[in-house]
Amino acid sequence: MSHPSYVEIDFIQFKKNITNIKKYLQEVSLCLPVKANAYGHGLVPIGKAAVEAGVDYLAVAHLQEGVLLRKAKIEIPILVLGAFHEDQIEDFRKFNLEFSISSEFKANLVAAKWGKRRNKKYRVHLEVDTGMQRTGVRPSTAASLFTHLKNLQCFEICGIYSHLATADSPLDGFAIYQIEQFRHLLEDPIFAKERMIRHLANSGGTAYFPSSHFDMVRPSLLAFGYLSKDRPEGLKEVAPCFSLKSKVSYFKVVEAGQGISYGHTYITKKRTRVVTVPIGYGDGYRRCLSNRGSVLIRGHRFPIVGMVCMDQFMVDVGDMEVRVGDEVVLIGRQGGNEILLQEIADLCDTTPYEILCGFNERLPRVEGKKKELTP
Ligand SMILES: *Cc1c(COP(=O)(O)O)cnc(C)c1O
């Protein structure tokens, strides 16, 4: 294996999550956003597993992510969510990627390119801002932009969508307001008679707001097995499929009163055994876990002592017989013990999203049975 530390993905559980969500949705289509290296799980392996599990659509944030999926021979529809730039326009068509249009200005940029070529149409989704204030045309101008797109002739309008800002809390009032805005907009006869995919829900919408489902949902965090609050009865089989593991790389006995790691922020209270784990903030294992986080070795939980370095950190294992090469679990289960992603996120004062995305390319993604995956 290329690195003693690795991300282990349980693809059986991941596919179970997709199956569970599909069953819960019944007639509604499922789009899986796989942006940011599929939330750190590995873009291409997750994209392929998602296709095998019957996902209808994939979504990414940027053109380059869509191109990687196409180069890996993934053929289902892919929507690029983020705003695009002029120099990317031709690649959307070349790689058969759908993209978002949220202003007349951008629509005109595309149309200007079309003027020269006039072959295949650009497949787009009209993005409406119902209250996120990020990207998207306002509901009041959505109909006129839509008419403009039709008049330009170069677009095949595949969908219309918006994004929820606060749906991670069940019964959130603002989420209900956004759903209502979107529903009301779609009642406009100009949209009502159009055959296109209407989509709004992220994970929170999918789990807590059935009225946000429309034709298709876009839950990522949920598909990876996480949800901040209690999940509904119909989604009980959904569980995490991500573990972070390493191997003890060094062992020593340290006398009492010794400072450990940069800055000596930890001083040993008594003679103890200290082991080194070869992963650090250079891999995405956050420095804020210094003197706060813990790991599992031989089924027991031990504290991180001293600062987390770029490539390694130290663990105080007390009197425990630990050997070089022993498995270290940083996120996930070992024996009867478990370290949850949420625990790491709480210690770092952030969300599970940010922790997951932080695990970078230096960490190989490995299948449950320890087979290394091609990135
Ligand atoms: C990231 C993203 C999602 C998925 O969000 P989750 O909270 O992980 O479900 C859905 N839609 C858009 C537009 C996004 O940017």
Nearest residue (by CA) to ligand 1, atom 3, is: 202
Mean pLDDT of the 241-266 span: 98
Centre of ligand 1 from the C-alpha of residue 33, in Å = 6
Exposed/middle/buried for residue 227 (C-beta within 10 Å: 0-12, 13-18, 19+): buried
Q: How far is residue 176's CA from residue 166's CA, in Å, rounded to a whole number?
A: 9
| Minimum-distance ligand 1 atom for the alpha carbon of 202 | 9
Centre of ligand 1 from the C-alpha of residue 34, in Å = 9
Judge if the beta carbon of residue 221 lies within 6 A of ligand 1.
Answer: yes
pTM of the model: 0.95
Centre of ligand 1 from the C-alpha of residue 39, in Å = 11
Structural element, H or E, at residue 355: helix 352-358
Centre of ligand 1 from the C-alpha of residue 326, in Å = 37
What is the average pLDDT score of the chain? 95
| Minimum-distance ligand 1 atom for the alpha carbon of 81 | 13
Q: How far is residue 318's CA from residue 321's CA, in Å, rounded to a whole number?
A: 9
Judge if the beta carbon of residue 352 lies within 6 A of ligand 1.
Answer: no
- Dihedral sign (CA 319, 322, 328, 329): negative
Tell me the CA end-to-end span of the chain in Å, nearest whole number: 14
Q: Spell 7-37 as b/e; 16+ CB within 10 A means b.
A: bbbbbebbbbbbebbbebbeebbbbbbbbbb
pLDDT digits (tens, 9 = 90+) for 192-235: 989 999 999 999 999 999 999 999 999 999 999 998 677 889 99
Residue 2 confidence (pLDDT): 78
pLDDT digits (tens, 9 = 90+) for 146-198: 999 999 999 999 999 999 999 998 889 999 999 999 999 999 999 998 999 99
- Residue 114 or 46, more confident: 46
Judge if the beta carbon of residue 165 lies within 6 A of ligand 1.
Answer: no
Q: How far is residue 368's CA from residue 198's CA, in Å, rounded to a whole number?
A: 36
